[in-house]
């Protein structure tokens, strides 16, 4: 008796093996690096507003004294470091807690900016930096005669 070959059967078996392999990778990855141990990130927006560039960064939990902003090689660098130590003393105990954290972002700006006229503000965990563009970096429209 002759068996008919199903050409798709091997493809289904290969798909099952790949699915099992990816499930193993996923399970293995979760054991090694839990989500809460990923390095802290700083979400930000870079907005080109024509004559200026605005950068808005989320930095909740930092004091403005903990934030450092500077321009280096045409890039905007934002660093924030938190060092917090608490000590509580009671009659029969002493409790000390330390919490440290640092975030860092380096952003290439879309245009040349006037460093001296740059302004930054920090309010409720949101850092806003306004960087005016230089004259030669601003878009100039040419009228057709």
Please give the share of the chain, as a percent, with pLDDT higher than 90.
23
Q: Is this structure's pTM higher than 0.85? A: no
pLDDT digits 0-9 by tens, 45-65: 999 888 899 999 998 888 889
Q: Per-residue pLDDT for 111 more than 80?
A: yes
Q: Per-residue pLDDT for 30 more than 60?
A: no
DSSP 99-140: EEEEEEEEEE-SS-B-GGG-EEEEETTEEEEEEEBPGGGS--
Sign (positive or negative) of CA dihedral 70, 72, 76, 81? negative
Average pLDDT over residues 102-131: 90
Instruction: Specify the 3-state DSSP secondary structure of 19.
Output: helix
Q: Per-residue pLDDT for 69 more than 80?
A: yes
CB neighbour list of residue 77: distance below 8 Å, 6 or more residues apart: 68, 69, 70, 71, 104, 105, 106, 107
Domains and CATH numbers, the chain: 40-137 (2.60.40.790)
């Amino acid at each position: 008796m002759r068996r008919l070959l199903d050409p798709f059967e091997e493809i289904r078996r290969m798909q099952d093996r790949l699915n099992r392999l990816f499930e193993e990778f996923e399970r293995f990855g979760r054991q090694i690096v839990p989500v809460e141990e990923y390095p802290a990130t700083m979400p930000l927006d870079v907005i080109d507003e024509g004559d200026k560039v605005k950068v808005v960064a989320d930095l909740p939990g930092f004091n403005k004294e903990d934030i450092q902003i500077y321009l280096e090689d045409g890039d905007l660098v934002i660093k924030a470091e938190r060092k917090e130590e608490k000590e509580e003393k009671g009659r029969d105990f002493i409790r000390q807690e330390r919490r440290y954290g640092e975030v860092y972002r380096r952003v290439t700006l879309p245009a040349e900016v006037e460093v001296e006229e740059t302004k930054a503000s920090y309010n409720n965990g949101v850092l806003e930096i306004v960087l005016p563009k230089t004259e030669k970096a601003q878009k100039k429209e040419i009228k057709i005669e």
